[in-house]
C-alpha cells in the first residue's frame, strides 16, 4: 500500500445473550440424535476434542430441538445481526472517542444469512447514520471474511485520507444447525460453531497499528473444500476432512510468498493472529508458520471461550493481540482460511513496539 497507511483506532466485539456449555451440547445431541443414528454416537468425542468450553447463541438452546425452515432462520439472523452490530459499533466509537456522524464508509462482512437491503443499510437506518456513507457489503468469504474485510476497509480508508471507515463483521453460525441432518459435516459444525460480531474503526489520521499490506491466495480446483449448500431448512456446512493436511503442506509456501513480495520472511513476524478454525487447524497453522506447538495461545483462547464464529473470530483474536503485550510486537500477520479455498492475509505494523 502506498501513501499514509490506514490505522486501527479501535476494535469492539459482541456476543448474543445465550451461553452454550460444550458439555451440555454433547448431552443434548446424544439424547436427541443418538437414538436415531449410531454414527452420531461414534462422532461425539469430537466435541471434547474441539478445544471449546463455551459458545454463544442468538437463540436459547431449546430452539435447536425443533425443526426450522430457511425463512425463519433468516428472520432471526437479520434481527440478531443488526443488534449485535449496533452494540459493537457504539463500543468501538466510544473507545476511539469518535461520533457516529463522523463515519464516512462502512464495510460489512457476513456469510451466514441473506440481507437485502444489506446489513450496513439496516444499521444506518437503526442508528440514524449519515445518508452519504459509502457502503461495501461483502458476502461469501466465510471464515476468511474478517481478514480480507480488514484489508478491504484499509484500502477504502487509504483511498480517501482522513475518512473514518467502519468495518463490521457478524456471523450467526449456530443458526445453521440442522436437526435431521446426520452428516459428519453437520456434526462438525455443531461441535464448532458459535455466534459473534465485531466492529473496527480505521483511518489514516488515527493512532494505532498500521495496515501495511493485504492479499489472498485461492487454490485451484478447491471449490469443494469449504462452503455452504442452500437447502429448504437452511444452510448446510461443507467441510473437507483434508483441510488440516492442506494447511500443513501448502499454506507455508503461500505465506512465505506473500511476505517475500513485501521484503519480509516468517522470522520478521512477531505476532501471528490466526483464525482458529478448530484445534486440528491450529496445530496445522503452527506447523505452517514454523511455530512451537501451542504458540497460537490467543487463537486457542478465543476458540475455547467463543468457538468458531467464522469471519468474526479473527477479530476477537486481533482484539486480544492488541491488548495483550501490544508494546512487544512490531509486525503481526493476520490470517484466515475460507471458501474458495482461499487464504487471506493482512500485515500490521505496530507504532507502540519498543
Residues 185, 279: Cα–Cα separation, whole Å: 16
Q: Which of 66, 84, 264 is nearest to 171 (CA)?
A: 84
Q: Which of 274, 265, 247 is nearest to 346 (CA)?
A: 274
Q: Which of 346, 334, 310 is nearest to 142 (CA)?
A: 310
Phi/psi for 310 (5° steps) reads 50, -130
Residues 193, 177: Cα–Cα separation, whole Å: 9
Element (H, E) at 90: helix 70-96
176 a catalytic residue? no
Burial pattern 291-325, b for ≥16 Cβ within 10 A else e, equals eeeebbebbbbbbbbbbbbbbbbbbbbbbbbbeee
Report the phi/psi class of residue 140: left, alpha or beta, with left for phi > 0 and alpha for psi in -120 to 50.
left
324 within 8 A of 304, measured Cβ to Cβ: no
Catalytic residue among 58, 143, 173, 176: 143
Residues 98, 291: Cα–Cα separation, whole Å: 38
Phi/psi for 85 (5° steps) reads -65, -35
Residues 331, 350: Cα–Cα separation, whole Å: 6
146 within 8 A of 311, measured Cβ to Cβ: yes
C-alpha count within 13 angstroms, C-beta hemisphere, residue 180:
8
- Placement of cell 461443507 in the chain: 238
Residue ranges in 206-251 assigned as alpha helix (H): 243-246
Residues 177, 156: Cα–Cα separation, whole Å: 35
Instruction: Give catalytic residues, as residue numbers.
Output: 143
Amino acid at each position: 500500500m502506498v501513501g499514509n497507511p490506514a490505522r486501527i483506532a479501535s476494535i469492539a466485539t459482541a456476543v448474543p445473550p445465550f451461553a452454550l456449555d460444550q458439555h451440555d451440547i454433547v448431552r443434548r445431541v446424544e439424547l436427541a440424535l443418538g437414538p436415531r443414528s449410531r454414527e452420531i454416537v461414534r462422532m461425539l468425542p469430537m466435541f471434547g476434542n474441539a478445544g471449546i468450553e463455551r459458545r454463544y447463541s442468538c437463540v436459547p438452546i431449546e430452539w435447536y430441538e425443533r425443526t426450522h425452515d430457511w425463512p425463519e432462520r433468516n428472520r432471526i439472523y437479520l434481527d440478531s445481526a443488526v443488534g449485535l452490530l449496533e452494540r459493537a459499533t457504539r463500543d468501538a466509537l466510544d473507545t476511539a472517542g469518535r461520533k457516529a456522524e463522523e463515519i464516512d464508509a462502512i464495510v460489512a462482512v457476513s456469510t451466514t444469512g441473506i440481507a437485502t437491503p444489506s446489513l450496513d443499510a439496516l444499521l444506518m437506518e437503526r442508528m440514524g447514520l449519515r445518508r452519504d456513507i459509502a457502503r461495501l457489503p461483502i458476502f461469501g468469504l466465510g471464515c476468511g471474511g474478517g481478514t480480507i474485510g480488514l484489508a478491504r476497509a484499509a484500502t477504502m480508508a487509504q483511498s480517501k485520507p482522513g475518512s473514518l471507515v467502519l468495518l463490521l463483521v457478524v456471523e450467526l453460525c449456530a443458526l445453521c444447525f440442522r436437526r435431521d441432518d446426520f452428516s459428519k459435516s453437520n456434526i462438525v459444525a455443531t461441535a464448532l460453531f458459535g455466534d459473534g460480531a465485531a466492529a473496527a474503526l480505521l483511518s489514516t489520521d488515527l493512532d494505532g497499528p498500521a495496515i501495511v499490506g493485504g492479499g489472498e491466495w485461492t487454490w485451484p480446483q478447491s471449490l469443494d473444500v469449504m462452503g455452504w449448500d442452500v437447502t429448504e431448512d437452511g444452510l448446510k456446512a461443507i467441510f473437507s476432512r483434508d483441510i488440516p493436511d492442506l494447511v500443513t503442506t501448502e499454506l507455508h509456501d503461500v505465506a512465505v510468498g506473500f511476505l517475500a513480495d513485501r521484503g519480509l520472511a516468517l522470522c520478521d513476524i512477531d505476532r501471528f493472529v490466526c483464525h482458529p478454525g478448530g484445534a486440528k487447524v491450529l496445530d496445522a497453522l503452527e506447523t505452517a508458520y514454523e511455530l512451537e506447538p501451542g504458540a497460537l495461545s490467543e487463537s486457542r483462547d478465543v476458540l475455547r471461550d467463543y468457538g468458531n464464529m467464522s469471519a468474526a473470530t479473527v477479530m476477537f483474536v486481533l482484539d486480544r493481540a492488541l491488548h495483550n503485550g501490544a508494546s512487544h510486537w512490531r509486525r503481526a500477520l493476520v490470517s484466515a482460511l475460507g471458501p474458495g479455498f482461499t487464504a487471506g492475509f493482512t500485515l500490521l505494523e505496530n507504532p507502540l513496539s519498543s
